């Protein structure tokens, strides 16, 4: 599977099975996505490789640790290597092609927008669960 930004300058590839997705409903992710939530997953580093465009990537980081990497040409949010030193954060909207991943978790539902209606049977977390718990949830295909 491959992922590519809006203008095509940044491209990456993924091997192996794609984990499920989460949707984060916090105010920061809403601002980043311009929508009700941001949909993403965590991918083990050995499954990820850059194809092209790393020189186009810029980063924005808040003192809290919140981070956004983006294409400096088109502004698309792009993957970044996580602080845990073993995974990449992957924005789902860049992925091309069909996959069997689904949304299996909703994060920060206690701060979702008043107009946001969460549907489906994915587990809802009021805040951010422990990373190990979230990783396990995303890796479990049902």
Which domains, from first to last, does the chain contain? Answer: 2-139 (2.170.150.70)
- Report angle CA 30, 34, 37 to the nearest 5 degrees: 40
User: Rounded CA gap, 68 and 94, in Å?
Assistant: 14
70-128 tens-digit pLDDT: 999 999 999 999 988 999 999 999 999 888 999 999 999 999 999 999 999 999 999 99
């Amino acid at each position: 599977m491959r992922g590519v930004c809006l203008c095509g300058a940044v491209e990456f590839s993924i091997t192996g099975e794609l984990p499920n997705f989460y949707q984060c409903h916090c105010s920061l992710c809403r601002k980043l996505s311009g929508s009700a939530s941001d949909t993403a997953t965590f991918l083990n580093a050995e499954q990820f490789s850059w194809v092209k465009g790393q020189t186009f990537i810029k980063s924005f980081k808040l003192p809290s640790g919140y981070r956004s990497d983006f294409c400096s040409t088109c502004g698309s949010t792009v993957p970044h290597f996580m602080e845990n030193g073993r995974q990449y954060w992957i924005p789902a909207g860049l992925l091309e092609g069909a996959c069997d991943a689904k949304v299996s978790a909703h994060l920060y539902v206690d701060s979702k927008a008043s107009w946001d209606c969460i549907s489906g049977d994915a587990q809802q977390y009021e805040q951010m669960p422990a990373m190990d718990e979230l990783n396990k949830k995303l890796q479990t295909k049902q």
